[in-house]
Structure 1
Amino acid sequence: MTADRPSPRRARPAEDVPGLTACALCAGETAGGSDPLPGGQAERLRRLAADGAARLTFVDCLDECERGDVVVARPCSSQRRAGVVPVWFERLSGDDATADLEGWLRAGGPGAAEVPAGLADLVLPRTADVDEAATA
């Protein structure tokens, strides 16, 4: 591992790992050209997945284009079976927000831990029917 990336943590079974769905079209939109990381926010999310914090899926569009850097945190399988719904975020970008996201996902993410204070203002209120259609 390089000095700027933490070493991967102990692997969890895939069913215990929350998921992330990110919009491939708007990933990196919030920081734009001022993001110092090559690959920007999309690269940060790829690193989270590579380090085992989440299962990552990029989609063409989440139909929230005006909100930039839309990321949906999906509950792990057991939380989903218990009725926990995904948590949608807008303008989720940068090292600090991504670190908050990683910590929350490692704590179990949706249904297992409270959304961190640093991400609370980025949560998009959603209805269950919209969540089901977009993250099924």
Structure 2
Amino acid sequence: MARRPRQESAAPAAPVTVTVCRGCCCGSAAKHPGVDHAGQLERLRAGVGTAGKVRAVDCLDACGHSNVVVVSPSAEGRKAGGRPVWLGWVLADDMLDEVVDWVRAGGPGIVPPPGMLDLQEFTVSRRIREGLPG
């Protein structure tokens, strides 16, 4: 009996990932009254759709920049030199729209951040960066 050649199944490439801090300060109505934190997360998830993935984590330990969002490159973006981009003070709908637009366009390493997102960018210490959940 002849064997058919084995087909290699290509694993899906890692998508752009948006990590949203929702721990002590970032998800706090006490710190950011009037901000619909749950609504922000749903807005990101709906906007990003299948272009990437959105996840919420308890705390990214960058409370001085609350509300923190980290946009991590796709596998393709990482190959092109993209690295995670930490964004602070992501509170307004237009900022969320820019994050969604960026993810849908390819994210870090593929296209520069749109609009005013570069003004929201900040650098974290290596200790914090290496503690980012995978």
Q: TM-score range by the shorter chain?
A: 0.7 to 0.9
Matches within 5 A, 1:1-136: 15=13, 17-25=15-23, 26-27=26-27, 32-35=32-35, 39-49=38-48, 51-126=49-124, 130-136=128-134
Q: Deviation per CA, 1:42-101: give whole Å up to 9, x if none.
A: 22223234x223211211110011211100001001222444210000011221111111
Q: Which runs of 5+ in 2 are unaligned?
A: 1-10
Q: Deviation per CA, 1:6-63: give whole Å up to 9, x if none.
A: xxxxxxx95263101111221466983323x5833222223234x2232112111100
- State the 1:113 CA deviation: 0.5
Q: Give, in whole Å, the separation in 2 of the partners of 1:95 and 1:14.
A: 31
- CA contact under 8 A between 1:24 and 1:61: conserved in structure 2? yes
What percentage of residue pairs aligned between the two structures are identical?
Answer: 31
- State the 1:132 CA deviation: 3.9
Q: With structure 2 as the length reference, what TM-score do the two structures score?
A: 0.73
Secondary structure (helix, strand or coil) at the match of 1:117 reads: coil
Q: Give, in whole Å, the separation in 2 of the partners of 1:21 and 1:67.
A: 14
Q: Which residue of 1 aligns with 2:7?
A: none
- State the 1:116 CA deviation: 1.6
Q: Summarize the Cα distance change of 1:111–1:127 in structure 2 as closer, same or farther, 3 Å threshold.
A: farther
Secondary structure (helix, strand or coil) at the match of 1:88 reads: strand
Q: With structure 1 as the length reference, what TM-score do the two structures score?
A: 0.72
Q: Summarize the Cα distance change of 1:22–1:132 in structure 2 as closer, same or farther, 3 Å threshold.
A: same
Q: Summarize the Cα distance change of 1:134–1:24 in structure 2 as closer, same or farther, 3 Å threshold.
A: same
- What code does the residue aligned with 1:40 have? G
Q: Give the number of equivalent residue pairs.
A: 122
